Amino acid sequence: MVARIRPANTASQRVALRAGLARAAHLDGPGEDGLDWIFATNLPGSGGGSR
C-alpha cells in the first residue's frame, strides 16, 4: 500500500502511520501541484508488512 501525502498535511501523515505505513523518503517526488511525501508498507529493511 502506498500513500502520497503533502508535507504540510500532518493529519494524513498520522493516519498513514496508524495504518502501518512507514515514511519512504527515498521515493519522495513532485506531485501535480507540489512535493509529495511517500508512505508505504513492505519497504525493504523496515520490517514492514501487514500487522
Dihedral class, residue 37 (left if φ above 0, else alpha if ψ from -120 to 50, else beta): beta
* E strand or H helix at 7: none
Residue 23 identity: R
> Would you place residue 11 in the very low, low, confident or very high pLDDT band (cuts 50, 70, 90)?
very high
The whole model's pTM is what? Answer: 0.78
Alpha helices in the chain (DSSP H): 10-18
Banded model confidence at residue 45, pLDDT cuts 50, 70, 90 = low
